[in-house]
Chains A and B, each alone.
Chain A
Amino acid sequence: MSTRIVVDPVTRIEGHLRIEAVVENGVVTDAFSAGTMVRGIEKILKGRDPRDAWAFVERVCGVCTGIHALASVRAVEDALKITVPPNAELVRNLMYGTLSVHDHVVHFYHLHALDWVDVASVLKANPVETSKIAQSLSRWPKSNPGHFAAVQQRIKKHVESGQLGIFANGYWGNKAYKLPPEVNLLAVSHYLDALEWQKEIVKIHAIFGGKNPHPNYLVGGVPCSFNLEEVNAINTERLNHVGSLIKDAIEFVEQVYIPDLLAIASFYKDWGAIGGGLENYLSYGDMPTRGYNDPSSFFLPRGAILGRNLNEVHDVNPRDLDEIKEYIPHSWYKYAEGDQVGLHPWKGETEFNYTGPKPPYEHLNVEGKYSWIKTPRWKEHAMEVGPLSRMLIAYAKGHTDVKDLVGTVLGKLNVPVTALFSTLGRTAARGIETQLLVHEMKATFDKLISNLKNNERRTFNPDSWEPSSWPAQADGVGMAEAPRGALAHWIKIKDKAIDNYQLVVPSTWNASPRDAKGQRSAYEASLIGTPVSNPDQPLEIIRTIHSFDPCLACAVHLYDPSGKQIHQVQVN
């Protein structure tokens, strides 16, 4: 018997994600991903001063804010041939590290952990045993029996209040949950610690970017000035604060996040063989150390892997009109040259063409157009983007730290390298990357301090700030690695104003519909073969979709074979 499952809610920020999956004999046999993203940003930007674009694009996504601003200023700088001073590069890398590390930790504990951790089971735990486990895993101070007993009481009170709120949508008690009560209590306790910790780390954005959640960016540099003695500038006191936040981040990641990841993963090793999906991985790379135009200097390398062949990393050139193209045979747009062609983003068009049913509806016509997301392809290949792609490309390029960390994680879990190509691998790669990034933040911070001590204070390059110095026409591309994957903004500047502006965001790569050849994108491909033990509680589907860290909220609808909706679930 086959059942059809759908994912569909509304979010204020980026739109929503809807997945229709066909489940036969307890296994997903086909899947269709449809999404509504903020679209038409180019219409708002056309005719504006390119130096202002970052402030608008920063608002297209509520979870990636700063990274869109970064991609935007890079696109303008690329078009106008502006190089930023070394300190600006370092500050941007610190902002970047903060964003990713914060996002990854919040994803693990607050968006993904409850797919693996049963909150209801916490009440059955023995806090003394939890304490023993905690102390065997790390030297995190909050690990005595009294602490865990107090956490257990707080959860009990919360559950008894009937105001489950954030925990309301869990499938508590589902047999797919495998952790013993004591490990569940440990994880929930760290869920609370992570809530506290995440409040602190983001202060780095406010220190360098003036404010949060929407920090300031600047074409040509960063909008902050250093003066170690000046009260209103970034002075010694503020820098010391940044230094201590980075130190705390290293401590939290190494003593809490990574030990939890390994402890939880050890009960779910079977997920090292589920949810792999596509075999192609793409990363633009990020954290330049010798300028944006020298990708060989990037801490997170650029490249593409095809067919899971880790012996070869292909070069990626987003400026090449033949490499990245967006297709729309299944997307609600139309192209002047017809819907079968692919367009490079510099030639991108945004003409809406909604042909779907009037909402609310039960099913999409997956034979025709069924999504607001276009389908990007790299050299015609469907590519997965995200931390797994970044770590695989770094690994394949021989990045020593990545090879060591990946080796350690695989060793501790006693799983083969092929386990990386999975839902578990995606979740583990995010943790590995976080550990890598907190240390790189420390190194970046030390470089910044050393520059300042040597009286190198420049943060802004004014050479091409004035529009009078700009050419009549200029094209640029701003690439970045958002926490959830490869992000790029393509800009065309004409007569000092924006003429065209196209975004290809990570969820476009991962969540897009099929292309003209019928090739699935990452979400659709990853769900094939996923077991669903209880169709009323499609926990397994959620695990795999969440492993991508979607920037779209989702809900699950279940259908019986006749297409009648039998169930609807909001997924958190």
Chain B
Amino acid sequence: MKILVLGIGNILLGDEGVGVHVVRHLEGGGPLPQGVEVLDGGTGAMVLLGPMQAADRVILVDATMDGGTPGSFQRLVPRYSSDYPPTLTAHDIGLKDLLDCYYLMGEEPDVVLYAVTVAEIPDLDLEMSDALKEAVPRVSAAIREELWAMAAEPMV
């Protein structure tokens, strides 16, 4: 089984880049099961459809402004773009739209979303807030655990 862990966000915008920081942490934190690919999706949109559809399952890591406690995170299984929590994605073709592309192309996405709550996005800052810096290893550890648990499951 091929699994893609995809971190999304803009590292120039402080906490908004948390998804990218998480996958970088995950990559640098010891071995991962076979078949796992980790990708810094950064600010890419349509170009991510290829790597996403090449995987059997996609684990997305993204920031959300859902009004919750900054640094907390949820594990969600969105089916359609409308299942997404509120993020900042309003770009012409955003990540959410890529999920719809699956259906249009006659496929069903197998996507798990780690949505990390952020409070506000600064103008331009490479530094994340303390709450989000502290969240990075926690989210990374949760994903690592899920990846190894999946690897231990018998192949279906």
Number of interface residues of B (CB under 8 A): 45
Confirm or deny: B87 has a beta carbon within 8 angstroms of a beta carbon on chain A.
yes
Asked whether, in the complex, the Cβ of A166 is within 8 Å of the Cβ of B100, the reply is yes
The one of B11, B47, B91, B100 in contact with A163, judged by C-beta atoms closer than 8 angstroms, is B100
Inter-chain contacts of B100 with A (CB < 8 A): 163, 165-167
Confirm or deny: A16 has a beta carbon within 8 angstroms of a beta carbon on chain B.
yes
Asked whether, in the complex, the Cβ of A199 is within 8 Å of the Cβ of B50, the reply is yes
What 1/0 flags go to B44-71 for Cβ under 8 Å of A? 1111111101000000000000000000
Question: Taking the nearest CB of chain A, how far is it from the CB of B78, in angstroms?
Answer: 11
Kindly state the separation between the CA atoms of A163 and B106 in the bound complex, as whole angstroms: 14
Confirm or deny: A498 has a beta carbon within 8 angstroms of a beta carbon on chain B.
no
Confirm or deny: B153 has a beta carbon within 8 angstroms of a beta carbon on chain A.
no
Question: Taking the nearest CB of chain B, how far is it from the CB of A167, in angstroms?
Answer: 8
From known contacts A40-B123, A214-B42, infer whether A13 and B10 are also in contact, taking CB-CB under 8 Å: yes
Confirm or deny: A81 has a beta carbon within 8 angstroms of a beta carbon on chain B.
no
From known contacts A60-B12, A166-B104, infer whether A12 and B43 are also in contact, taking CB-CB under 8 Å: yes
8 A Cβ contacts from B1-59 to A: 9-13, 16, 39-51, 53
Confirm or deny: A154 has a beta carbon within 8 angstroms of a beta carbon on chain B.
yes
Confirm or deny: B89 has a beta carbon within 8 angstroms of a beta carbon on chain A.
yes
Asked whether, in the complex, the Cβ of B12 is within 8 Å of the Cβ of A38, the reply is yes
Inter-chain contacts of A43 with B (CB < 8 A): 124
Kindly state the separation between the CA atoms of A40 and B13 in the bound complex, as whole angstroms: 11
Inter-chain contacts of A568 with B (CB < 8 A): none
The one of B43, B47, B81 in contact with A13, judged by C-beta atoms closer than 8 angstroms, is B43
Asked whether, in the complex, the Cβ of B124 is within 8 Å of the Cβ of A59, the reply is no
Confirm or deny: A508 has a beta carbon within 8 angstroms of a beta carbon on chain B.
no
Inter-chain contacts of B143 with A (CB < 8 A): none
Inter-chain contacts of A158 with B (CB < 8 A): 103-104
Kindly state the separation between the CA atoms of A271 and B156 in the bound complex, as whole angstroms: 55
Kindly state the separation between the CA atoms of A59 and B126 in the bound complex, as whole angstroms: 11
The chain A residue sitting closest to B124, CB to CB, is A40
Q: Which of A61-69, A401-409, A532-540, A557-565 contacts B (4 or more CB under 8 A)?
A: A61-69
What 1/0 flags go to A389-404 for Cβ under 8 Å of B? 0000000000000000
Asked whether, in the complex, the Cβ of A195 is within 8 Å of the Cβ of B49, the reply is yes
Asked whether, in the complex, the Cβ of B50 is within 8 Å of the Cβ of A203, the reply is yes
Kindly state the separation between the CA atoms of A110 and B43 in the bound complex, as whole angstroms: 18
Asked whether, in the complex, the Cβ of B12 is within 8 Å of the Cβ of A56, the reply is yes
The chain B residue sitting closest to A106, CB to CB, is B46
What 1/0 flags go to A504-528 for Cβ under 8 Å of B? 0000000000000000000000000
The one of A16, A110, A161 in contact with B93, judged by C-beta atoms closer than 8 angstroms, is A110
8 A Cβ contacts from A24-52 to B: 38-41, 43-44
From known contacts A12-B10, A44-B126, infer whether A202 and B50 are also in contact, taking CB-CB under 8 Å: yes
Confirm or deny: B131 has a beta carbon within 8 angstroms of a beta carbon on chain A.
no
What 1/0 flags go to A157-190 for Cβ under 8 Å of B? 0100101011100000000000000000000000
Inter-chain contacts of A337 with B (CB < 8 A): none
Asked whether, in the complex, the Cβ of A63 is within 8 Å of the Cβ of B45, the reply is yes
Inter-chain contacts of B39 with A (CB < 8 A): 211
Question: Taking the nearest CB of chain A, how far is it from the CB of B117, in angstroms?
Answer: 15
Identify which of A11, A199, A203, A555 gathers the most chain B CB atoms within 10 Å of its CB: A199
Inter-chain contacts of B155 with A (CB < 8 A): none
Inter-chain contacts of B49 with A (CB < 8 A): 195, 198-199
Asked whether, in the complex, the Cβ of B9 is within 8 Å of the Cβ of A12, the reply is yes
Kindly state the separation between the CA atoms of A202 and B48 in the bound complex, as whole angstroms: 10
Kindly state the separation between the CA atoms of A106 and B101 in the bound complex, as whole angstroms: 13
Asked whether, in the complex, the Cβ of B43 is within 8 Å of the Cβ of A62, the reply is yes
Identify which of B13, B42, B46, B96 gathers the most chain A CB atoms within 10 Å of its CB: B46
Asked whether, in the complex, the Cβ of B46 is within 8 Å of the Cβ of A11, the reply is no
Asked whether, in the complex, the Cβ of A65 is within 8 Å of the Cβ of B11, the reply is no
Confirm or deny: B99 has a beta carbon within 8 angstroms of a beta carbon on chain A.
yes
From known contacts A38-B12, A110-B46, A163-B103, infer whether A13 and B91 are also in contact, taking CB-CB under 8 Å: yes
Identify which of B43, B45, B103 gathers the most chain A CB atoms within 10 Å of its CB: B43
Asked whether, in the complex, the Cβ of B42 is within 8 Å of the Cβ of A213, the reply is yes
Confirm or deny: A192 has a beta carbon within 8 angstroms of a beta carbon on chain B.
yes
Confirm or deny: B90 has a beta carbon within 8 angstroms of a beta carbon on chain A.
yes
Kindly state the separation between the CA atoms of A165 and B104 in the bound complex, as whole angstroms: 10
Confirm or deny: B82 has a beta carbon within 8 angstroms of a beta carbon on chain A.
yes
Asked whether, in the complex, the Cβ of B42 is within 8 Å of the Cβ of A65, the reply is yes
Confirm or deny: B88 has a beta carbon within 8 angstroms of a beta carbon on chain A.
yes
What 1/0 flags go to B79-95 for Cβ under 8 Å of A? 01110000111111110
Confirm or deny: A543 has a beta carbon within 8 angstroms of a beta carbon on chain B.
no
Asked whether, in the complex, the Cβ of B9 is within 8 Å of the Cβ of A202, the reply is no
Inter-chain contacts of A259 with B (CB < 8 A): none
Asked whether, in the complex, the Cβ of A12 is within 8 Å of the Cβ of B46, the reply is no
17 CB contacts below 8 A, A to B, read A11-B91, A12-B87, A12-B89, A12-B91, A38-B12, A38-B13, A62-B42, A63-B91, A65-B42, A106-B46, A110-B46, A155-B104, A166-B93, A166-B104, A195-B105, A199-B50, A214-B44
Question: 6 other contacts beyond A11-B90, A13-B91, A44-B125, with CB at 8 A cut-off?
Answer: A10-B90, A39-B123, A62-B91, A65-B43, A165-B81, A165-B97
Pairs A-B, 6 closest by C-beta atoms: A213-B44, A165-B100, A62-B43, A199-B50, A12-B88, A163-B80
* Chain B interface residues toward A at CB < 8 A: 9-13, 16, 39-51, 53, 80-82, 87-94, 96-97, 99-101, 103-106, 121, 123-126
* Chain A interface residues toward B at CB < 8 A: 9-14, 16, 38-41, 43-44, 56, 59-63, 65, 102, 106, 110-111, 154-155, 158, 161, 163, 165-167, 192, 195-196, 198-200, 202-203, 205, 211-214, 553, 555, 570, 572
